[in-house]
């Protein structure tokens, strides 16, 4: 039996940089099974998201989902949308392009960093960024052993300054209860961060993603080296700016059995805590929870709308922060 699970990200933060002439608004969102409606023979488990399968995933439902996602994204940043958006649970480049089309009213020039990953379910990580604001210096995709999502790495540049953004979706707890896959993902990411910090101890690094672990879990705390406080970081350590929300009974990135948790993270290198290059705007990390994303139930706190509303919310799994697809 699976308990009710619902995701309410995006998590956002704001960076500043001298040449920007303003702030840089960055967000992350697990968009929960953003699939097209076509069965891809190269993907073993995407058949459920087709019109004739049990979920009856039609073009109309996909359009509704894209519209709802775009509403939340377009409302970010005072109605200007994010400058950078990390995504996970996207099936392919096509659905990312369709999401960008749904955001056309923002008049952004969003470019895509994406590659089909070896995930057996066919869900990938990706990043979009506004080419009017930043340029892409380099991109890479870090392979985590096993059939799981690759970690997206993008070097974004403004006037010679580089910001390295990593978009993650580590293995889920259901298929990896002991956390071995998440520890492996943490080690892969840590190795790459170590290499960047060896070249430049003050490098600006931002780690975003659904890590499927809490800030205090070994994958995040021990193996990735993400700490709870920004002051006095040991050499190479990272600051987990979303740890501030742990224990908040009314806010989190994930709802499990009616309880808010933090499994989606915004993690900063020490380079983002100084005044050189890109800098984190202190206190800017937050979680978006708009009224129209939530549904109220009798005798319970408001919870996210699900793409598929379960018949029995206490025993079914939901992960989406928006409204039903139908």
Query: 236-252: per-residue pLDDT in tens?
Result: 999 999 999 999 988 88
- Residue 38: both structure tokens together: 């076509």
Instruction: Using alpha carbons, select from 114, 102, 87, 80 the residue that is nearest to residue 10.
Output: 87
- Over 70: is that where the pLDDT of 311 sits? no
- Residue 273: both structure tokens together: 């805590």
Query: 106-152: per-residue pLDDT in tens?
Result: 999 999 999 998 887 889 999 999 999 999 999 999 999 877 899 99
- Residue 258: both structure tokens together: 């009616």
- Over 90: is that where the pLDDT of 61 sits? yes
Query: 163-205: per-residue pLDDT in tens?
Result: 999 999 999 988 888 899 999 999 999 999 999 999 999 999 9
- Over 90: is that where the pLDDT of 304 sits? no
Q: How confident is the model at residue 316 (pLDDT cuts 50, 70, 90)?
A: very low
- Over 60: is that where the pLDDT of 2 sits? no
Any idea where the domains of the chain sit in the sequence? 5-304
CATH of domain 5-304: 3.60.10.10
CA distances for 173 relative to 10, 177, 233, angstroms = 20, 5, 29
The CA-based angle 189-164-175, given to 5 degrees, is 30
Neighbouring-strand partners of residue 227? 239
Q: How confident is the model at residue 41 (pLDDT cuts 50, 70, 90)?
A: confident
Mean pLDDT of 61-79: 95
- Over 90: is that where the pLDDT of 320 sits? no
Mean pLDDT of 256-277: 92
**157 sits in which H/E element:** strand 151-158
- Over 60: is that where the pLDDT of 38 sits? yes
Query: 213-235: per-residue pLDDT in tens?
Result: 999 999 999 999 999 999 989 99
Crossing angle between the packed helical segments 59-79 and 93-102, to the nearest 10 degrees? 60
- Over 60: is that where the pLDDT of 298 sits? no
Q: How confident is the model at residue 7 (pLDDT cuts 50, 70, 90)?
A: very low
């Amino acid at each position: 039996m699976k308990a009710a699970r619902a995701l309410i990200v995006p998590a956002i933060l704001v960076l500043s940089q001298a040449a920007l002439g303003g702030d840089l608004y960055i967000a992350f969102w697990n968009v929960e099974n953003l699939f097209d409606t076509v069965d891809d023979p190269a993907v073993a488990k995407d058949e459920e998201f087709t019109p004739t399968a049990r979920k009856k995933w039609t073009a109309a439902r996909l359009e509704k989902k894209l519209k709802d996602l775009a509403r939340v994204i377009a409302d970010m940043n005072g109605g200007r949308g994010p400058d950078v958006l990390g995504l996970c649970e996207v099936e392919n480049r096509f659905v990312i392009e369709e999401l960008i089309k749904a955001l056309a009213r923002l008049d952004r020039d969003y470019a895509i960093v994406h590659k089909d990953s070896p995930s057996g379910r066919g869900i990938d990580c990706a990043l979009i960024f506004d080419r009017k604001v930043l340029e892409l210096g380099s991109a890479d995709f870090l392979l985590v052993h096993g059939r799981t999502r690759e970690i997206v790495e993008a070097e974004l540049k403004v006037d010679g300054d580089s910001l390295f953004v990593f978009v993650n979706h580590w293995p889920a707890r259901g298929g990896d209860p002991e956390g071995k896959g998440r520890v492996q993902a943490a080690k892969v990411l840590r190795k790459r961060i170590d290499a960047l910090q060896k070249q430049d101890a003050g490098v600006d690094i931002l780690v975003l993603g659904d890590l499927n672990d809490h800030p205090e879990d070994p994958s995040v705390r021990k193996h990735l080296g993400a700490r709870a406080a920004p002051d006095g970081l040991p050499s190479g350590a990272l600051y987990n700016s979303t740890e501030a929300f742990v224990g908040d009974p009314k806010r989190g990135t994930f709802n499990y059995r009616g309880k808010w948790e933090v499994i989606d993270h915004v993690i900063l290198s020490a380079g983002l805590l100084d005044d050189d290059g890109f800098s984190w705007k202190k206190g800017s990390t937050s979680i978006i929870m708009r009224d129209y994303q939530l549904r109220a139930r009798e005798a319970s706190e408001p919870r996210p709308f699900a793409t598929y509303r379960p018949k029995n919310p206490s025993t079914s799994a939901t992960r989406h922060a928006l409204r039903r697809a139908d």
